[in-house]
Structure 1
Amino acid sequence: MFRGRYEHTIDAKGRTSLPARYRDVLSSIGERRIILTSALDPCLVAYTAPEWNAFEERLAKLPQFDRAVQKLKRIYVSGAVECDVDDSGRILVPPTLRDHAALKKDVLWAGSGKYAELWDVQAWKANFETTDDERGQIASRLAELGL
């Protein structure tokens, strides 16, 4: 499980460190790579290979002509890239994905359970802020979902 927030930098070549705790997650399942893809938000999403495969299997069972399913495949699946973790614990984020998330220098990894998100720090701050009304709407929706 990916948990916690970790600030790092990304260099001009697109290399950034994967947080040590996230590397531990990979190590526990014998992996040295993540699947990185564009998200619906202006960020990237990182999965372990088994979680990504499970996601693709669920997606394959959905109606292929549903517009939302098609759009998700175009955003999520077509943008997916396998990123190897090097011996220094870094990954190379391809230019197209860096552009999607507007990653410049300061980045933030945010754990989300089965996956992690990679944000530009300033974009994270802008998206993380919520109003009292938004919090109320979120609380209502979570109650509807049984949380």
Structure 2
Amino acid sequence: MGQRFRGESQHKVDSKGRVSIPSLFRRVLESADPNWEKGKNPELVIVYGDHRNSCLDCYSMEAIAEIDAKIDALPRGSQKRKILQRLFHGQSYPTNVDETGRLVLPAKLREKIDLNGEAFFIANGDSFQIWKPETYEVEEVARTEEWLDDQDEDFDPLMLLDDQAGV
């Protein structure tokens, strides 16, 4: 993957479920969509199946193709393959960014994360997530802060990169 999603942003969601995607995210979606060309709308896949997640996971076409290849490499009929196919194929929503840079989130997806009024976007490298802002604050920010508070005083998160086995 060339470009990566970076940053966070909050945007209004209208009554029809339309929400603007951060402009930097749109550039990454364009670069990671093999069918995109100037004047066309980049595609993405929203995965919503994991009931434990309080967010929508959004993948560029390049990122979802990598996941699909790993699923396809699993033995047919295996439990792992069946579960991953259900989560990433069956419980996903292929869509595209419209001409105005917006995404239309169907009611089912908005209801899954109790989204209304505002949407919070956070980058995840080769994907990004859409959250209800209050849920993100309660679940993710609190979890990260708690974890950091448990580290030694001189802890630097970059140290994790040198200790791949300890992650």
Q: Under TM normalisation by the shorter chain, which class is it?
A: 0.7 to 0.9
Match of 2:19 among 16, 21, 25: 16
Q: Secondary structure at the match of 1:103?
A: coil
Q: What is the count of residue pairs matched by the alignment?
A: 144
Q: What TM-score, normalized by structure 1, do the two folds share?
A: 0.82
Match of 1:98 among 100, 110, 123: 110
Q: Cα RMSD (Å) of the superposition?
A: 2.5
Match of 2:128 among 101, 116, 133: 116
Q: What TM-score, normalized by structure 2, do the two folds share?
A: 0.74
Please say if 1:49 is aligned against 2:69.
Answer: no
**Counterpart Cα distance in 2 of 1:14 and 1:94:** 6
Equivalent residue number for residue 130 of structure 1:
143
Please say if 1:83 is aligned against 2:112.
Answer: no
Equivalent residue number for residue 31 of structure 2:
28
| Unaligned runs of at least 5 residues, structure 2 | 152-156
**Counterpart Cα distance in 1 of 2:12 and 2:111:** 15
**Counterpart Cα distance in 1 of 2:108 and 2:119:** 16
Return closer, same or farther for 1:104/1:50 CA change in 2, 3 Å cut-off.
same
| Unaligned runs of at least 5 residues, structure 1 | none
Equivalent residue number for residue 8 of structure 2:
5
Moved more, 24-33 or 38-47: 24-33
Q: Which entry has the higher C-alpha Rg, 1 or 2?
A: 2
Select the structure with the greater relative contact order (CA < 8 A; seq sep ≥ 6): 1
- Say if 1:83 and 1:93, in contact at 8 Å, map to a contact too: no
Q: Secondary structure at the match of 1:130?
A: helix
Q: Give the percent of matched residue pairs that are identical in Structure 1 and Structure 2.
A: 24
After TM superposition, where is structure 1 displaced by more than 6 Å over at least 4 residues in a row?
Answer: none
